[in-house]
Amino acid sequence: MEDCIFCKIIRGEIPAFKVYEDEAVFAFADINPISQGHTLVIPKRHAENLWEIPEKDLCSVLSAAKRIAGAMKKALNPAGIACLQLNGRGVNQVVMHYHLHLMPRLEGTPELPVTTWELKPGDMDEIKKTAEKISAALP
């Protein structure tokens, strides 16, 4: 896509700190890292989000993410790795090219904000109805 910043990174028009590349996937360091080693894994073929990305590309992204997570474990020995992927401006997706965040948390560093939401029991009736509604809408 002409104006997409991540497509420009894939084409080499914008610099990036490459972590991994194969025929379908590119991965590079996030320049506003939430933690040391924060990496973005993206499909080379432009797709905006989880609804648009072809299943084949999604599988390629996840396979690459697994390899990269293994490398992070070896290189950084993190206490854990959070995976996050935003879909739509309503949940603060900023770059409209599908990207999976891999965010390692190193031992002794603060908890990642995206992993610290408070667990509060929901309304079971509402939970049941919504689960059924989603389930009934499956293709």
Would you name the residues annotated as active-site residues? 99
Return the number of the residue (65 or 96) whose C-beta is nearest Zn ion.
Answer: 96
* Shortest distance in whole angstroms from residue 10 CB to ligand AMP: 11
Binding stretches for ligand AMP (CB under 6 A):
5, 14, 16, 30-32, 40, 86, 92-95
Return the number of the residue (4 or 86) whose C-beta is nearest Zn ion.
Answer: 4
Q: What is the DSSP string of the chain?
A: -TT-HHHHHHHTSS---EEEE-SSEEEEE-SS-SSTT-EEEEESS---STTTS-HHHHHHHHHHHHHHHHHHHHHH--SEEEEE---SGGGT--SSS--EEEEEE-TTSPPPGGG-PPP----HHHHHHHHHHHHHT--
Stretch that binds Zn ion, among 20-28, 60-68, 76-84, 91-99 (CB under 5 A): 91-99
**Could you say which of 19, 35, 43, 46 contacts Zn ion (CB under 5 A)?**
46
